[in-house]
Amino acid sequence: GAEARLEELESGTATAEDAARAAGCPIGQIVKSIVVLCDDRPVVALVPGDRRADLAKIARATGAVEARIARGSEVEEATGFPPGSVAPFPLPNVERVLIDQSLLGHDTVWVGAGSAMHLAAMNPSVLVRLARAQPMDAVQDSP
């Protein structure tokens, strides 16, 4: 059987909330592909839709002194995708992909598929393999 299912959506996926509504799943199963510049090298952090990437943890994981969220033009330069449509693979200009370990507990997660009208559903283990992602704690601690 197919390892991933591509869905064309009736409505766009500008936010994780929109994507969850369109996919009919909890927001924690939506994967946000966040482009982080770690000492100016692009890294992609895959985090649940209801959490925020923790830049300090990501910097530590990559051995970087500083990490910041990429600006729109930098996202497109690094990934070939516009912000909000980043697919977690293929990413020829990105050396490292990190995935928040909480995503691994789901049977299915939904990732961006290169346009605001498409999402792909897959098992997190498939996502880890296809994105060559390194599991870690990549999100800010809940208050």
Query: Per residue in 86-119, pLDDT tens?
Result: 999 989 899 899 999 999 999 999 999 888 888 9
Number of helices (H), then strands (E), in the chain: 4, 8
Quick one: pLDDT at residue 1? Answer: 54
The answer to whether 57 touches 84, Cβ cutoff 8 Å, is no
Helix (H) or strand (E) holding 138: none
Quick one: pLDDT at residue 2? Answer: 61
CA distance 141 to 143: 6
Regions in the chain scoring below 50 on pLDDT = none
CA distance 48 to 16: 9
CATH numbers and ranges of domains, the chain: 4-136 (3.90.960.10)
Q: Which amino acid is at 107?
A: D
End-to-end CA distance of the chain: 41
Q: How many CB atoms lie within 10 A of CB 107?
A: 8
Quick one: pLDDT at residue 10? Answer: 80
